């Protein structure tokens, strides 16, 4: 049946009319989506090296050896090598974090910005389904962008779990109007996917009429060809088709709309969408000139990958046909039936009186063919910009120094600068605004959100109520890490040695920079004091000058640790002093600065007490006698500070 455009737009409807309109709109894009799925399926076959029948997990169970469209066997999977290398070099080397710009703000805003940074980082480190954290989700989304036309990360407020959920969305499940997205930013987004009907019922059990709609809604079919609702019995018992739609807000006074359609029922109940951006963050390898998606890494390399396998096929055919054993026999001198059963060689009959042919072993692969194969392989890496040295762990001849090898790798990776920065901004700036928007939604619906931030070997609870504002402009969110900083063990050691040699950093800072895991035990004793002081510093910075509580009780004021006999005072004084200077630069109130001053006074008194005690223990040198001062058991001059 031909598609008929509705008389009104989906966000202008309510109830069942809105549900039917959303389904009709999504189905109207089926032809464009079929083309997208076909391209994604073709690239996925190259990446997996399997003849996948459809874009569904069941295809993996049936897939055998992949045969290209030209009929050759897929022998060398360079497509996977390209994608794996790109993912490892770009998404696998960084875990971007956000920093809030509050340079000119007052002290309370700066402290809230610091708490907000920790809260967002805790949300990024929280487990997400089968993924360990949000960075694992981003890694898979970046791989999607290398294979398909986009990588998609979805952020949504899980009101049941009181958390921010971060999911990977399969690229072909996201739908936009091609004409509306010509500039790359459409106002309408659609997500067509399957979801467990019982889990959905648990989330919307309070919505009147939801149970009947969810349990009677059509199931998701195993293959997308022919539409939905044709799955087996086990699919009807589990997965239901969900069509989610968003219309972007035009301004604060003109909100958009959000619909969550199951069957002919809107579970969102006419919900408004107050954000000017969708709940998705997009990653593309190279964005199209027009449209919301892009050209993938495999789109660029696929023709050359297929040509390389074709060259392999020709080589295999020549080797098979040209290397067979041959034997000659006189006519009527052998039993033909016996000859035909001899499959190991080819028997050729020679006529009576004729000479046996002069036999020679043919050359199965000429030099020109070998050179052509080498050129194609080189182009596979050069065209998309992936280094063959990185993909194959191969060293360039004549280059042995580690510094030179790393320099060549960095030069080869400069072509990845655009993809690197895009991934960095998505996982820092984009993820931050999405997380804060979800937290705001959860705050409006209930008592707020509690996240757990790893502080040393303990988990620190962070509450969303500690910071009141959630609407942070993108220009106030910056990436905290340095773009392009190589993060290997050798590079950390090289960087640490240079900074330590120039006197820029201390010994403790050098240990933290190199981050060698095998030194964890050795560093533990030196880091405990720093961790404890960091805890004290955060308490002093967050302290508020409140004398009485709600019921009139006098609150116990924060104090500084008086017993410092077990501390190494010199580094403690440096650490607290630097924190105090930073607090003064941030215009901290005098009440907070006083904690630092009190600590430094107590530490100075303790230091003088230690020096006096050691001076009293030192042997006296007779007048007029010059000698070396006595030393302690480890060679430290007596009287020196501990």
Is the per-residue pLDDT at 477 higher than 80? no
Question: pLDDT grade, residue 31 (50/70/90)?
Answer: confident
Closest to 210 measured CA to CA, from 271, 273, 272, 268? 268
- Distance from first CA to last CA of the chain, Å, rounded? 88
Distance CA(629)–CA(621), nearest Å, equals 8
- Domains: count for the chain: 2
CA distance 577 to 583: 10
* Mean pLDDT in residue range 512-535: 60
Task: Let me know if residue 352 belongs to a domain.
Answer: no
- Shared domain check, 537 and 448: no
Does 188 share its domain with 249?
yes
pLDDT at 137: 95
Distance, CA of 46 to CA of 67 (rounded, Å): 10
User: Confidence class of residue 412 from pLDDT cuts 50, 70 and 90?
Assistant: very low
Q: Identify the residue with better confidence: 288 or 237.
A: 288
313-343: b or e for each residue (b if 16 or more CB lie within 10 Å)?
bbbeebeeeeeeeeeeeeeeeeeeeeeeeee
pLDDT for res 356: 67
Element at 143 (helix H, strand E)? helix 134-147
Question: How far is it, in rounded angstroms, from Cα 247 to Cα 258?
Answer: 6
Radius of gyration, alpha carbons of the chain:
34
Rounded to whole angstroms, the maximal C-alpha distance in the chain is 128
DSSP H or E stretch at residue 310 = helix 297-322
- 3-state SS class at 40: helix
Distance CA 55, CA 33 (A): 12
345: in domain: no
Residues 38 and 89 in one domain: yes
Phi, psi (deg, nearest 5) at residue 343? -80, -10
Asked if residue 112 is part of any domain, the answer here is yes
Same domain as 139, residue 253: yes
Q: Tell whether 501 and 454 lie within a shared domain.
A: no
The total number of residues written for the chain in this structure: 642
CA distance 245 to 156: 13
User: pLDDT per residue over 178-202, tens digit each?
Assistant: 999 988 889 999 999 999 989 999 9
pLDDT in tens, 582-597: 888 888 888 888 889 9
- For the cut 90, the answer to whether the pLDDT of residue 152 exceeds it is yes
Q: Are residues 40 and 106 in the same domain?
A: yes
Average pLDDT, stretch 163-188?
Answer: 92
Instruction: Report the alpha-carbon distance of residue 226 to residue 176 in Å, rounded.
Output: 20
Weakest mean pLDDT among 122-126, 141-145, 293-297, 627-631: 627-631
Most confident of 8-12, 17-21, 475-479, 635-639: 17-21
Among 208-212, 305-309, 310-314, 476-480, the range of highest mean pLDDT: 208-212
Residue recorded with tokens 């100075």:
604
Query: Could you tell me where the DSSP H helices lie in 549-589?
Result: 569-585
Residue 441, domain member (yes or no): yes
Angle between helix 107-125 and helix 431-445 axes, rounded to 10 deg: 100
Mean model confidence pLDDT for the chain? 76
Could you list the residue range(s) of the whole structural domain that residue 525 is in?
Answer: 488-546+558-617
pLDDT at residue 399 greater than cutoff 60: no
- Cα separation, 298 vs 42, in Å, equals 10
Tell me, yes or no, whether 237 lies in a domain. Answer: yes
Which among 253-257, 562-566, 627-631 has the top mean pLDDT?
253-257
Q: To the nearest 10°, the Cα dihedral for 114, 116, 119, 125? A: -80
Q: Please tell me the least confidently modeled range out of 160-169, 274-283, 400-409.
A: 400-409
- The answer to whether residues 494 and 457 belong to one domain is no
- Quick one: pLDDT at residue 623? 63
- Residue-wise pLDDT for 465-474, tens only, equals 777 665 666 6
Phi first, then psi: give them for residue 449, nearest 5 degrees.
-130, 140
Q: Region 50-62: what's the mean pLDDT?
A: 83
Provide the phi-psi class of 456: left if phi over 0, else alpha when psi is between -120 and 50, else beta: left
Same domain, 37 and 177: yes
Q: What stretch of H or E contains 436?
A: helix 431-445
Q: What is the pLDDT of residue 182?
A: 87
- In a domain, residue 240? The reply is yes
Same domain, 568 and 446: no
How many beta carbons lie within 10 A of that of residue 231, not counting itself?
19
162 class by beta-carbon count within 10 Å (0-12 exposed, 13-18 middle, 19+ buried):
middle
**Residue 600: inside a domain:** yes
> Tens digit of pLDDT for each residue in 419-445?
888 998 999 989 999 999 998 888 887
**Would you state the pLDDT for residue 260?**
96
State whether 441 and 503 are in the same domain: no
Structure tokens at 323: 């290397």
* Three-state DSSP class for residue 478: strand
Asked whether residue 174 is assigned to any structural domain, the reply reads: yes
CA-to-CA distance for 281 and 438, rounded, in angstroms? Answer: 14
Confidence of residue 408 (pLDDT cuts 50, 70, 90): very low
* Of the candidate ranges 475-484, 522-531, 624-633, the one whose mean pLDDT is the lowest: 624-633
**pLDDT value for 405:** 46
- What phi and psi, each to the nearest 5 degrees, are found at residue 267? -70, -25
| pLDDT number for residue 54 | 86
Q: Which helix (H) or strand (E) holds 282?
A: strand 280-283
357, 416, 424, 429 from 419: Cα distances, Å: 63, 5, 8, 15
Shared domain check, 79 and 21: yes
Predicted local distance difference test score (pLDDT) of residue 555: 53
- What's the pLDDT at 10? 93
- The residue with greater pLDDT, 511 or 26, is 26
The pLDDT tens digits of the residues spanning 33-55 come to: 888 999 999 999 889 888 888 88
Q: What would the pLDDT profile of 253-293 be if each residue is shown by its tens digit?
A: 999 999 999 989 999 999 999 999 999 999 999 999 998 99
Please provide the DSSP assignment of 154-217 as one string: EEEEETTTTEEEEEEE-GGGEE--TTTTTTS--SEEEEEEEEEHHHHHHHTTTSTTHHHHHHHS
**3-state secondary structure string across 528-555:** HHHHHHHHHHHHHHHCCCCCECCCCCEC
Please give the full DSSP string across 559-570, using - where no structure is assigned: ------TTS-HH
For every residue of 366-431, DSSP letters joined together read: -HHHHHHHHHHHHHHHHTTT--HHHHHTPPPTT---HHHHHHHHHHHGGGGHHHHHHHHHIIIIIH
pLDDT at 632 over 50: no
451 with 537, same domain?
no
Backbone conformation region of residue 273, classed left if phi is above 0, alpha if psi is from -120 to 50, else beta: beta
pLDDT at 186: 93
pLDDT at 299 over 80: yes
Helices of type H across 209-282? 210-216, 233-236
What pLDDT score was predicted for residue 323?
61
Comparing 15-19, 21-25, 109-113, which segment has the lowest mean pLDDT?
109-113
67: left (phi over 0), alpha (psi -120 to 50) or beta: beta
Residues 6 or more apart whose Cβ sits within 8 Å of residue 588 = 107, 541
Tokens of 202: 């648990």
- The pLDDT tens digits of the residues spanning 339-375 come to 665 555 667 777 777 776 666 555 666 666 666 667 6
């Amino acid at each position: 049946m031909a598609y008929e455009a509705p008389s009104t737009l989906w966000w202008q409807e309510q109830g069942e009319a809105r549900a039917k309109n959303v389904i009709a709109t999504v189905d109207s894009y089926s032809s464009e989506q079929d083309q997208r799925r076909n391209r994604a399926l073709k690239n996925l076959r190259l990446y997996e090296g399997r003849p996948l029948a459809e874009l569904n997990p069941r295809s993996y169970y049936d897939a055998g050896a992949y045969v290209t469209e030209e009929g050759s066997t897929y022998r060398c999977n360079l497509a996977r090598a390209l994608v794996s290398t790109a993912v490892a070099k770009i998404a696998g080397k960084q875990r971007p974090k956000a920093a809030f710009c509050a340079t000119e703000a007052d002290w309370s805003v700066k402290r809230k910005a610091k708490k907000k940074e920790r809260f967002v980082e805790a949300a990024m480190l929280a487990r997400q389904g089968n993924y360990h954290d949000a960075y694992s989700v981003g890694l898979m989304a970046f791989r999607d962008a290398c294979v398909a036309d986009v990588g998609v990360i979805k952020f949504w407020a899980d009101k049941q779990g009181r958390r921010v959920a971060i999911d990977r969305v399969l690229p072909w499940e996201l739908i936009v109007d091609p004409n509306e997205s010509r500039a790359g930013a459409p106002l309408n987004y659609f997500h067509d996917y399957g979801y467990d009907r019982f889990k959905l019922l648990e989330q919307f059990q309070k919505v009147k009429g939801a149970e009947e709609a969810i349990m009677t809604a059509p199931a998701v079919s195993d293959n997308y060809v022919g539409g939905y609702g044709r799955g087996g019995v086990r699919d009807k018992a589990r997965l239901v088709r969900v069509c989610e739609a968003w219309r972007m807000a035009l301004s604060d006074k003109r909100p958009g709309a959000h619909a969550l359609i199951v069957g002919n029922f809107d579970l969102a109940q006419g919900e408004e969408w107050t954000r000017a951006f969708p709940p998705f963050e997009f990653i593309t390898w190279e964005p199209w000139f027009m449209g919301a998606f892009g050209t993938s890494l495999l789109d660029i390399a696929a023709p050359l990958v297929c040509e390389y396998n074709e060259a392999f096929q020709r080589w295999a055919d020549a080797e098979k046909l040209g290397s067979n054993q041959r034997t000659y026999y006189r006519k009527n001198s052998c039993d033909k039936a016996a000859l035909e059963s001899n499959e190991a060689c080819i028997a050729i009959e020679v006529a009576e009186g004729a000479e046996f042919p002069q036999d020679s072993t043919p050359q199965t692969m000429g030099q020109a063919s070998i050179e052509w194969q080498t050129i194609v392989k080189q182009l596979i890496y050069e065209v998309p910009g992936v280094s063959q040295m990185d993909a194959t762990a191969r060293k360039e001849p004549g280059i042995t120094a580690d510094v030179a090898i790393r320099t060549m790798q960095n030069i080869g990776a400069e072509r990845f600068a655009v993809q690197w920065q895009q991934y960095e901004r998505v996982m820092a700036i984009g993820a931050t605004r999405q997380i804060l928007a979800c937290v705001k939604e959860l705050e409006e619906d209930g008592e707020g959100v509690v996240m757990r931030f790893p502080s040393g070997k303990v988990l620190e609870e962070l509450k969303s109520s500690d910071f009141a504002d959630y609407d942070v402009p993108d220009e106030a969110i910056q990436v905290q890490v340095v773009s392009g900083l190589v993060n290997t063990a050798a590079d950390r050691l090289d960087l640490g040695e240079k900074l330590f040699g120039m006197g820029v950093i201390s010994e403790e800072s050098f240990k933290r920079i190199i981050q060698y895991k095998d030194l964890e035990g050795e560093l533990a004793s030196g880091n405990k004091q720093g961790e404890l002081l960091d805890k004290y510093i955060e308490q002093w910075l967050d302290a508020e000058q409140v004398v009485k509580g709600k019921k009139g009780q006098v609150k116990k004021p924060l104090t500084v640790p008086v017993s410092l006999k077990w501390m190494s005072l010199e580094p403690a004084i440096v650490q607290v002093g630097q924190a105090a200077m930073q607090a003064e630069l941030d215009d901290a109130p005098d009440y907070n600065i006083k904690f630092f001053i009190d600590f430094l006074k107590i530490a100075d008194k303790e230091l003088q007490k230690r020096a006096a005690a050691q001076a009293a223990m030192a042997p006296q040198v007779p007048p007029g006698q010059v000698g070396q001062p006595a030393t302690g058991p480890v060679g430290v001059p007596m009287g020196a500070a501990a």
